Structure 1
Amino acid sequence: MTTLPTRLDPDAPEYAAHRAAMLAKLAELDAEHAKALAGGGPKYLERHRSRGKLPARERIELLLDPDSPFLELSPLAAWGSPYQVGAALVTGIGTVAGTECVITANDPTVRGGSSNPWTLRKALRANEIALRNRLPLINLVESGGADLPGQKEVFIPGGALFRDLTRLSAAGIPTVAVVFGNSTAGGAYVPGMSDHVIMVKGRAKVFLGGPPLVKMATGEDADDESLGGAEMHARTSGLADQLALDEPDALRLARRAVHRLHWRKSGPEPGSSPEPPKYPEEELLGIVPDDLRVPFDPREVIARIVDGSDFDEFKPDYGTSLATGWATLFGYPVGLLANAQGVLFSQESQKAAQFIQLANRLHRPLVFLHNTTGYMVGREYEQGGIVKHGAMMINAVANSTVPHLSVLIGASYGAGHYGMCGRAFDPRFLFAWPSAKSAVMGPQQLAGVLSLVARQAAAAKGQPYDEDADAAIRAAVEQQIEAESLPVFLSGRLYDDGVIDPRDTRTVLGLCLSAVHSGPVEGAAGYGVFRM
């Protein structure tokens, strides 16, 4: 039997404390998500509705198949910046006419849906997901183009949006644009470069330059409709493929366009009727301690997310601070790597490298559950080859071509973040729990290193060391690094695809696995040189 046992005691005081801390973090997270849901606020939402228009998320809801899930991505984009949380754009993956698609929708209640630097990064991430996973892309467009005061950070990199649309089309991945209102200046190229274009009669306006700009540039007097109205584009320019009567009709036409694609997945189908985990998902709230220096067993997490809590562990007695093994998740076979005690030693690194190679030989997606403080340091470990063994693991991750899914559940520090397939190593999807933290190293360690360097510099110069100043600097550095390692900060910068409720982990991973199987799932044919 390979069903994981559990040692978790829901009646224990430790469990109650962990659960309470996690629920408090989730409440804080809900407050931040509410800012994204509010868009531009009641005033602008009411004005938008008074014009007979639907908010971005209601447009998405009408587009999706009834009662089907929508995996929203990067909802906290722009958090901590001068821009609105959510970055005036909604992105995610949902099922349209039986086909999984990447969907983006401008939020016109936020500065008319104009694009700021975070809007751009969020849109480019959505395009990347569509291309890498071979998912049709649907853009629900209503945007005034670049947010002009911030144009210096949007104009140059913004061209990648148009490049991506052409590359998707060239790769045979369909792109659909549904235009509800303004799509001006650079925004005009979104429908201009899409495979299928639908415009709403009397509402859509697609032009490189509106009437004021045309007047300034050429002296010509022109109105919105003759320059870029939906009927003009449907009857004269030919930019519009279909003319919709209103917004619901436009979304109906979009659903029909996707239906007519008869899109087929390239990856293998999942097994039938997966068995749910044997332990309640609710118990995921009480596993991770509030203090990440306290170890926990990641097998308790695995037991509550994989099918039937069934986990075939690979090398269970070797490199025991990293759990590796095979399971299925919603019927999809996967390999899992989960940090058990935080530190990665040479044995863990070698074990991981072999396991990743096996997964590629089997064409098996990999799921990484992060809780690592990094690779072990010290004279004994350096002499034992931790650099070359850690490099072996990183080499295996970097050159693996099967889909990678990462979830930060605890700490994710230093090069351990890379070895466990952090953002720089291009996992197909990366999510974080509210308990996660990620940085070069822990706040206390980083502040301590700076203090030691300063002490050594003072001693080398023969100068006395100011202990009071040192204490103040250490406190300030610890506070800064702690704030910058929190998941809401990292998610605001799109270093993950969202901060999720631990209870949703199985569902989120299942949706991601379904998405990655839209494209082929193939392991690496070879690797770089492993330093033995």
Structure 2
Amino acid sequence: MAVIESQLDTQSDAFKNNVKVMTAAVDEFRGIERRVIEAAQAKAPRYIKKGFIPPRERLSLLLDAGAPFFELSTLCGYMQDEDTDGSGAGGSYIAGIGYINGVRCVVAVDDYLTKGGSIGPMGGKKRNRVMDIALENKLPMVNLSQSGGGNLKLVGDTFGESGAMFARQCRLSAAGIPQITVVHGSATAGGAYQPTLSDYLILVRKQSTMYLAGPPLLKAATGEIATDEELGGAEMHSEVAGTNDYLAENDADGIRIARDVTKKLGWNKSQPLRAEVSFEDPIYPAEELRGIVPEDSKVPFDMREVIARIADGSDFLEFKGDFDNGTLCGHMEIEGMPCGVIGNNSPITAKGAAKAAQFIQLCEQSGTPLLFLTNTTGFLVGTEPEQAGIIKHGAKFIQAVTNCTVPKITVIVSGSYGAGNYAMAGRGMDPRFLFAWPRSVVSVMGPAQAGSVLRQVAEAKIARSGAEMNDEMRGMVDAMEKDTVETMEAKSNALANTARVWDDGMIDPADTRSVVAFALSVCREGDERTVNTNTFGIGRL
């Protein structure tokens, strides 16, 4: 046992202030989530009268009661595109990982009560990310569909790439990952392909419709007059076209059938029975994680304090502890599952990069998943680091991170700057899961540094021109620097990053252990599973 002895003074004013600041940030993002749900629920009564079950009630009916459900990207689209008041957070799409008749699945529900369920650029990005998670971790995907389709005001910016959603569906099917879709309302044009590309399709009698062109467009285009039912009703698709597989009597019946289909997959029949694993909780309370990150980002903290509050028994076997203390590497378990840990206590040096690259290779050799706990300003710069080979060793680190095949899970605890973001398995390096703490920052560099760099460039340009700096020029340079700082601050904070799906969701620091444990178990189950692949996916015949 190598139990971490915490040096954190939980009675200090600094700790209490850190808790206060972090708790306010947690309350802020939880408040955004809550307001979106409340706004949607306020619209529900008029849809209930028409026989529609509200989206989150559909979700509850679909999932096993009492089983865990981890929701993903709850703040996707927040204050992006046309969302000027935050009401579009979530991308009109409720998605996560949960259990249906004992089968762990990716579950996605169109939130037709938020923006009519329409799909904007960030909502589309979230849908793609959710399908990637299903594919990487071999999870069946169940969709409860009732969307307004693409947001026509914004689709011009994204249409060229919109086929990626359908391509992912095709790849899921070919990879042997089942997709089950219940269409609760209308599915028109491109929206009709999502359910039809699913492996199992369920329509609701007198309620679901699917067609490439609805009655008004059909009349305008060809002059033909047809009713909804004749053109694309549930009974027509069940009895005549043969597009549908199961005909439900109402919303709830469609969800019941989806649960039954999931059960009949026999998805877990070949999975090994796993013995109960006993493990110790961390010695230190999870709630203390809210007090570790200082309010002032320039004040350092020891990532061991985070590890001590998420590792089983606070037991952490550090690797090469005497060789560069700024990059931490070591082994621990979370809920009995082993993982290698890489964390930051300072900028990444040449020694730190070499140590981390070696440690990643060792974890690859033993098949041990990797957890990245990120707080770095990036790679150390200067004459001495350059002569120590910082570029060469940094490249080794990035190569190891990119090419290792064991699952990578990243938690952005505080700062994630520059190439340090790449080395610490940021979004571009395709970790299986990536989560962020409130108040974290992802940026090419600090806003103040960026403003200063552009100021120096502007001043040097003026000097080269031979002009003398006057008050007007100085004012312009001052304004440019100020605008750069403000713009980068607005675009690099935790809310802006999660809104753009740069992570899979913001989490309360106190939930870090349970979130990482859930992600590790998803990765382990996926890597153990054998699926029956085919070339083209399942075609509707």
Deviation, 1:100, is: 1.1
Percent of matched pairs sharing the same residue: 43
> Does the 8 Å CA contact 1:402/1:521 hold for their aligned counterparts?
no
Deviation, 1:521, is: 6.6
TM-score w.r.t. length of structure 1: 0.94
- Structure 2 residue 518 is matched with structure 1 residue 507: no
Deviations 1:25-78 (A, max 9, x none): 112212322343245572x33322232212222211111111112111111111
Map residues 24-43 of structure 1 onto 2, 5 A cutoff. Answer: 24-38=24-38, 40=40, 42=42
- With 438-447 and 266-275 compared, the bigger mean Cα shift is at 266-275
CA distance in 2, matches of 1:257, 1:221: 36
Map residues 417-496 of structure 1 onto 2, 5 A cutoff. Answer: 417-465=421-469, 466-496=473-503
CA distance in 2, matches of 1:469, 1:221: 63
CA distance in 2, matches of 1:216, 1:471: 57
Aligned match of 2:307 in 302, 309, 316? 302
> Does the 8 Å CA contact 1:356/1:396 hold for their aligned counterparts?
yes
CA distance in 2, matches of 1:491, 1:199: 34
Deviations 1:99-136 (A, max 9, x none): 11111111112343222222211111111111111111
CA distance in 2, matches of 1:429, 1:32: 22
- Structure 2 residue 184 is matched with structure 1 residue 184: no
Deviation, 1:473, is: 2.9
Query: Which residue type is aligned with residue 51 of structure 1?
Result: K
- With 359-368 and 74-83 compared, the bigger mean Cα shift is at 74-83
Deviation, 1:269, is: 5.3
* Residue 6 of structure 1: aligned partner: 6
CA distance in 2, matches of 1:163, 1:39: 33
Q: Aligned pair in 2 of structure 1 residues 150, 267: CA closer, same or farther (>3 Å)?
A: farther
Deviation, 1:512, is: 1.1
Deviation, 1:401, is: 1.0
Deviations 1:463-510 (A, max 9, x none): 233444433332322222112110100111111111111111111111
* Residue 538 of structure 2: aligned partner: none
* Residue 318 of structure 2: aligned partner: 313
> Does the 8 Å CA contact 1:140/1:179 hold for their aligned counterparts?
yes
Q: Aligned pair in 2 of structure 1 residues 521, 336: CA closer, same or farther (>3 Å)?
A: farther
Q: How many pairs does the alignment contain? A: 520
Deviations 1:341-392 (A, max 9, x none): 2x00011000000000001001111010100000010011111111101111
* Residue 59 of structure 1: aligned partner: 58
Deviation, 1:146, is: 2.0
Structure 1 unaligned segments of length 5 or more: list them.
Answer: 523-532
Deviation, 1:256, is: 1.2
* Residue 409 of structure 1: aligned partner: 413
Structure 2 unaligned segments of length 5 or more: list them.
Answer: 530-541
SS in 2 for 1:148: coil
- With 285-294 and 465-474 compared, the bigger mean Cα shift is at 465-474
* Residue 229 of structure 2: aligned partner: 225
Deviation, 1:306, is: 1.8
TM-score w.r.t. length of structure 2: 0.92
Query: Which residue type is aligned with residue 376 of structure 1?
Result: L
Aligned match of 2:265 in 261, 266, 274? 261
CA distance in 2, matches of 1:270, 1:391: 41
Deviations 1:296-315 (A, max 9, x none): 01111111112221111111
> Does the 8 Å CA contact 1:93/1:102 hold for their aligned counterparts?
yes
CA distance in 1, matches of 2:273, 2:107: 23
Deviations 1:172-228 (A, max 9, x none): 111100111111111111121111111222211111111112212222221111222
Query: Which residue type is aligned with residue 320 of structure 2?
Result: K
SS in 1 for 2:302: coil
* Residue 23 of structure 1: aligned partner: 23
CA distance in 2, matches of 1:485, 1:146: 27
- With 512-521 and 357-366 compared, the bigger mean Cα shift is at 512-521
Map residues 21-100 of structure 1 onto 2, 5 A cutoff. Answer: 21-38=21-38, 40=40, 42=42, 44-81=43-80, 82-83=82-83, 84-100=88-104
> Does the 8 Å CA contact 1:201/1:230 hold for their aligned counterparts?
yes
> Does the 8 Å CA contact 2:51/2:250 hold for their aligned counterparts?
no
SS in 2 for 1:337: strand
